[in-house]
Structures are given as structure tokens and as C-alpha cells.
């Protein structure tokens, strides 16, 4: 009799072999091993994303190369980092960080930290770039890459140290460690140029909760019934909702606090992200429990898949109904068909659309959110009074509910060139060799990573979007302030040298959004493909019944927070924004310059008079009626 794991392997679509092996031809290898699939239609998504597109089975699959909008620009034309500018070498990424990002705080009056938190959680759903942190030695033994005790050893090709200026204000070291992204061949193995791998599925499918392979998924599931996800009982109070499963040994967030495990390995980057993972984990088990009560005859596998399908559909709704309207202007949403239908099915699925992650999107564009992170996260009491602030590097015993209240109350930082000091001078990343967290600079890493991938500069992507290219540094209407142009002029020899991340986050935001015209274009293109190129998109015919679809449309992040908290009793309907009268205490349209927020005077007046987005009791928020999933007996 087959085990549950073997049954899954037998049943899954597009299987390659019984061990779930996915051969990825590394850059420079002489063989092209990308697999061929024979697909059949299935009611449920495959965990690795294969066969979502029956005509092009690899579209969006975990483990394939990022796609490119523009040709790579490696120094040697093949695989070396982009370090050469038009006239001379590009500025060092750590030096650039210290000159461009001045740690200034510019809180957004309306957007909350839920925009940043959900954005990072979403990013880990569809984007992960593996790094060259291990290698096989001459004896066939897997070893960790060692870039030297000071991080400056570049004799190993996986190491590409980031030089630290001698007068650096925060780091008393010569180098910051930098591991190159794993190099693989393109899907035709014909370009001869280095490409990078997306280690997770490109779809909005909850893979950060469930994993991007059968093996990862099985490791997360309760083996007694296979329908629920494993948990850790709360260590302080058994009456509190369970936490994520913990890694027993070999990893500690800080001191005695063990790391959590989830569908994505980055779950422990900071406590805000861990909370989103915990909520997603709890939501699956909550939905599964209701479905089990409604349909006790269902197998564990069917319960798991049905609950998973509801959860990833909730993620899609929240992304398009709450998150994208928070960061993109109304005009951008309309241009790229990012507005959800209010009723009926979506009939624009196109098997010719490739939803695979674009290299620039994963490596630079969607990293815009690093600029919106607050230097400290606040926690609030049950009465919504401020309890404390915690730095991102800290671990505290302050409770999930308190942080959830803080996330929906604390203002997001504006998207601009100023990352918080916690991200540029105190970011802690796990180092496998030293078995500890090492300090580094996220701004410098972002610049270096884009150069590692051979991404062209900011101006080239403006050209791709049909926007006027910069011809000199005297164009203040593109960037948020004149000082940005002056800073760039001092650091770069040519406007064509400006790195895509630095240029993109510095643009003036479009009205009602948080990002400027270039990143709005690049995000709009990617999210349009994620909708049109997903055979399982929640609005598509055949995914849900009409009655179920109407229920799924009720999903909101606020309701998910309420349902999976212990003691939260009130919440604003849209947690990506603070209650309107908290953002604008006076009924004075001119005082707040709300045109920047995409609101007309009439819209402002209407929202203020009606106390728009005020917190309400959790039971007043729309609830998905899971009774629509009850099978007729």
C-alpha cells in the first residue's frame, strides 16, 4: 500500500520522477536538462506550479529562470557583475548607500505598516533568489562557501565582497559579505549568458505558507490526518492560539528563541514577517476545521486542498482589492486591468501570457517596500493604547495581537530614497558558516544584487515603459526633490548609470499611490501577467462555483486578522489605511493637499462626513460563508 507521500507523488501533475527531482542546468554546464511534461487538467494547483499552463507547463514553475524585459548588461557580456558605467566604474554600493539614503523619516499620513508587512509576505509568495552559499568539493562533499573571516576573500567565484569605505559611519570592517545568486541557463540553453533562478512559484498561490514542492508541503502538514498544518502550542498560555512549528536545533532568532519554520525559509527575518506567516498558517487550520465539520466524509487530502484553495484565493483578493490600490494610482490599476470584478467570472485568461517573475521585478522593482519600513515597530494594548516600540533587530515577548494592532495603526514610511538605519546599518542576516546573524546593509545589497544579475540602469527601464529618458541631472519633476538630482550627479557620471533601485524609489509618487511612474509601469505589467496568466485565478470559470466566488470576494486582511487573533475585537475595514479621521482630523480639504492621495474635494468631504474606514466590531466585517462548500449528502 502506498504511503500518503507516495500517493501524492503518484497523483501530482507533471511529475518528473518519484523523488520530486527538478534538474536545473547550471550556468556553464554542457547539458540541457530542463524537463518535458505531459500535463492533464486538475481541480487543484500543483505545489510546484508546473502544468498551471497546459500548453507551456514550465510557465511560473518553481526553479526556472527569471524572465527578462531587457537584455542583460554584464561587464564581459556573459556573466560578470555590471560595474562599468558610461565613462568610468559605477560607485560602490555601500558608498552609494551612505550618500543616497540619509535615514530621514517621512511617515505617510494615510498608509499603514500593513502595506509593507503584507507586501513582504506577498513578495515571498512569488519571489526567491537562491544564492551560491554551498559548493561540492573535489571529494564530492557539500561545503559552505567561505568568503574569509572578514568577508573580503573573492577567490571563490561565489563571493563578490562589497567594499566598505575607510570612513564609513557604521561599519568598522573592510567588506560586507555578498554571495552571488545561483547561475543557471535559460530555458532553451542557447543564450550562453548567466541567468538567475526563481526558487518558488511565480503565482499568488500561498507558497510562502505551503511550500513550493511536495516534499516541503508534506514536512509542514500534520501527518496524522494530512489536512492541517503542524503547529507549536503557545508556550505562555495554552488558551492562546498556536504558533508556527519551531526548528528544534541549529537556528536561533536571538538567544534562546528558536526559529520558526514555514512554507518559506525567510520567515524569521523579523518579527513582523513572522506574524504574517503565523496568521496565514492559522487561517489554513481555521478554514480546514470548518470544512471538516461541514464535510466529515472528505479525505485529509481533499480537506487540505480545498482549504488551501480558499486561502490562496483570499490572498489574491487582498492583493488586488487592498494592497495594489494602496501602492498604485487609480489610473495605473485601470491601465493594466488590475481592478477586480464585482460579479461574474473573469474570462481573460490567456495561455500565451507568461506570468513568470521578471528579473528586474524580483531584484529591484518590488524591493521598493524596503523604503517604507519604519525604523521601529509599535505594539498596542487591547484598548489601542501604545505599549512600546521595538527595533527590527529585537526579539520580544510582546504578543502577536499587540503587534497586529501596531501594524494597522502605525504609519508606513513614504517610498523615497531614505531607508531606515535599521535596514542600512543593522540588518541581521543568518550566516550558515558562522552559525550566527551578521550585520549588513540592505540598500547596498539591493544595488549589488541588481548588478550581480546584470540588470540595465534606471534610464533603460524608463525607455521600456515609454517614459522620457533623463538626458541630464537637471530634471527635478522626475524625482521627489531637487536634492536627489544633486546627490545622483555627485555619485554617477551619467544619468544612464543610475541603478534601477536607486532611481525607482526616488521618483515622485503618482497621485493616490506610493511609487512613481517607472515602478508603477513595471509593477502594473507584472501583476497583469499574474492575473491573465494564471489558469487557477480565483475569478476564472471552473475554480469556484458562482456562489462560492461571491463569498471569496468578501475576503479582507482585517477579517483575517480578527479571525486569527486571540483578543482583537475591533478593526478598520481596510487595514492598509488608518481610519480616515485619524489621518485627517479636520474637515479641511485644502489643509491636507489630499489631491496627492488621489481624492477630489467631494470625495474627501464624503469620506470625512461618513467617518470612512472607522474601526468596527470584528463581527461587523464581511464574513466568508464556508457553508457554500458543503457537499450535498
Beta bridge partners of 358: 67
**pLDDT of amino acid 19:** 36
374 three-state secondary structure: coil
Query: Per-residue pLDDT for 142 more than 90?
Result: no
Average pLDDT for 117-140: 90
3-state secondary structure 508-562: CCCCCCCCCHHHHHHHHHHHHHHHHCCCCCCCCECCECHHHHHHHCCCCHHHHHH
149 part of the active site = no
619 three-state secondary structure: helix
Q: Is 358 exposed, middle or buried (0-12, 13-18, 19+ CB in 10 A)?
A: buried
Sorted by where each starts, the structural domains of the chain and their CATH numbers stand as: 4-66+101-130+181-346+355-415+525-563 (1.10.640.10)
- Cα–Cα distance between 233 and 224 in angstroms, integer? 17
- Cα–Cα distance between 21 and 520 in angstroms, integer? 37
Query: Which region holds residue 530: left if phi is over 0, alpha if psi is between -120 and 50, else beta?
Result: alpha
Least confident of 140-144, 300-304, 485-489: 140-144
Say which of 124, 271, 284, 360 is annotated catalytic: 124
Beta bridge partners of 144: 134
Please report, in range form, the residues annotated as the binding site for heme b. 370
Report how far apart, in Å, the C-alpha atoms of 425 and of each of 172, 408, 563 are: 11, 26, 37
Query: Per-residue pLDDT for 20 more than 70?
Result: no
Q: How many CA atoms lie within 13 A of 48 on its CB side?
A: 25
Please report, in range form, the residues annotated as the binding site. 370
**pLDDT of amino acid 89:** 96
pLDDT, tens digit, 9 for 90 and up, residues 569-599: 999 999 999 999 999 999 988 888 776 788 8
**pLDDT of amino acid 12:** 31
pLDDT, tens digit, 9 for 90 and up, residues 479-536: 998 899 999 999 999 999 999 999 999 999 999 999 999 999 999 999 999 999 999 9
Residues with Cβ within 8 Å of 83's Cβ and at least 6 positions away in sequence, in order, are 75, 89, 90, 451
Amino acid at each position: 500500500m502506498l504511503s500518503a507521500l507516495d500517493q501524492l507523488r503518484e497523483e501530482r501533475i507533471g511529475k518528473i520522477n518519484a523523488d520530486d527531482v527538478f534538474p536545473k542546468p547550471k550556468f556553464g554546464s554542457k547539458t540541457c536538462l530542463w524537463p518535458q511534461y505531459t500535463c492533464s487538467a486538475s481541480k487543484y494547483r500543483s505545489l510546484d506550479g508546473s502544468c498551471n499552463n497546459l500548453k507551456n507547463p514550465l510557465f511560473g514553475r518553481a526553479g526556472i529562470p527569471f524572465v527578462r524585459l531587457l537584455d542583460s548588461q554584464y561587464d564581459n557580456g556573459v556573466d560578470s557583475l555590471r560595474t562599468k558605467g558610461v565613462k568610468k566604474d559605477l560607485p560602490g554600493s555601500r558608498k552609494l548607500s551612505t550618500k543616497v539614503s540619509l535615514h530621514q523619516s517621512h511617515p505617510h499620513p494615510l498608509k499603514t505598516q500593513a502595506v509593507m508587512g503584507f507586501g513582504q509576505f506577498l513578495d515571498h509568495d512569488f519571489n526567491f533568489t537562491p544564492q551560491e552559499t554551498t559548493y561540492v568539493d573535489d571529494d564530492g562533499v557539500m561545503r559552505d562557501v567561505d568568503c574569509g573571516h572578514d568577508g573580503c576573500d573573492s577567490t571563490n567565484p561565489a563571493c563578490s565582497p562589497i567594499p566598505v569605505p575607510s570612513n564609513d559611519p557604521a561599519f568598522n570592517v573592510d567588506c560586507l559579505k555578498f554571495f552571488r545568486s545561483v547561475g543557471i541557463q535559460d530555458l532553451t540553453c542557447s543564450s550562453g549568458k548567466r541567468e538567475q533562478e526563481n526558487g518558488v512559484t511565480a503565482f499568488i498561490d500561498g507558497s510562502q505558507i505551503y511550500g513550493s514542492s511536495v516534499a516541503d508541503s508534506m514536512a509542514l502538514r500534520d501527518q496524522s490526518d494530512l489536512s492541517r498544518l503542524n503547529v507549536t502550542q503557545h508556550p505562555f498560555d495554552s488558551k492562546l492560539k498556536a504558533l508556527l512549528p519551531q526548528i528544534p536545533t541549529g537556528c536561533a532568532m536571538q538567544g534562546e528563541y528558536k526559529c520558526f519554520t514555514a512554507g518559506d525559509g525567510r520567515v524569521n527575518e523579523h518579527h513582523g514577517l513572522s506574524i504574517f506567516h503565523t496568521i496565514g498558517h492559522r487561517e489554513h487550520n481555521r478554514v480546514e476545521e470548518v470544512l471538516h465539520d461541514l464535510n466529515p466524509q472528505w479525505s485529509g487530502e481533499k480537506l487540505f486542498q480545498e482549504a488551501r484553495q480558499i486561502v490562496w484565493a483570499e490572498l489574491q483578493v487582498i492583493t488586488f482589492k487592498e494592497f495594489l490600490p494602496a501602492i498604485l494610482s487609480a489610473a495605473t490599476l485601470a491601465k493594466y486591468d488590475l481592478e477586480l470584478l464585482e460579479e461574474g467570472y473573469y474570462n481573460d485568461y490567456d495561455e500565451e501570457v507568461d506570468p513568470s517573475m521578471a528579473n528586474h521585478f524580483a531584484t529591484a522593482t518590488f524591493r521598493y517596500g524596503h523604503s517604507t519600513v519604519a525604523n521601529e515597530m509599535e505594539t498596542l494594548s487591547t484598548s489601542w493604547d501604545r505599549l512600546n516600540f521595538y527595533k527590527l533587530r529585537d526579539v520580544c515577548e510582546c504578543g502577536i495581537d499587540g503587534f497586529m494592532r501596531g501594524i494597522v495603526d502605525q504609519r508606513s514610511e513614504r517610498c523615497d530614497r531614505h531607508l531606515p538605519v535599521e535596514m542600512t546599518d543593522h540588518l541581521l542576516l543568518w550566516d550558515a558558516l558562522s552559525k550566527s546573524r551578521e550585520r549588513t546593509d540592505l540598500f547596498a545589497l539591493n544595488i549589488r544584487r541588481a548588478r550581480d544579475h546584470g540588470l540595465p540602469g534606471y534610464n533603460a527601464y524608463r525607455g521600456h515603459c515609454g517614459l522620457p529618458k533623463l538626458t541630464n541631472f537637471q530634471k527635478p519633476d522626475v524625482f521627489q526633490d531637487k536634492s536627489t538630482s544633486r546627490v545622483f550627479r555627485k555619485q554617477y557620471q551619467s544619468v544612464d548609470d543610475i541603478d534601477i533601485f536607486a532611481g525607482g524609489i526616488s521618483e515622485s509618487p503618482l497621485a493616490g499611490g506610493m511609487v512613481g511612474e517607472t515602478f508603477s509601469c513595471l509593477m502594473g505589467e507584472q501583476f497583469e501577467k499574474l492575473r491573465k496568466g494564471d489558469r487557477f485565478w480565483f475569478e476564472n470559470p471552473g475554480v469556484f462555483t458562482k456562489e462560492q466566488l461571491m463569498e471569496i470576494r468578501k475576503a479582507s486582511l482585517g477579517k483575517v486578522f480578527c479571525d486569527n487573533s486571540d483578543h482583537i475585537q475591533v478593526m478598520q475595514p481596510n487595514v492598509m489605511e488608518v481610519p480616515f479621521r485619524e489621518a485627517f482630523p479636520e474637515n479641511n480639504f485644502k489643509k491636507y493637499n489630499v489631491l496627492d492621495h488621489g481624492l477630489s474635494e467631494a470625495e474627501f468631504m464624503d469620506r470625512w462626513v461618513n467617518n470612512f474606514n472607522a474601526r468596527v466590531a470584528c463581527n461587523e466585517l464581511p464574513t466568508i460563508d464556508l457553508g457554500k462548500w458543503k457537499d450535498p449528502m
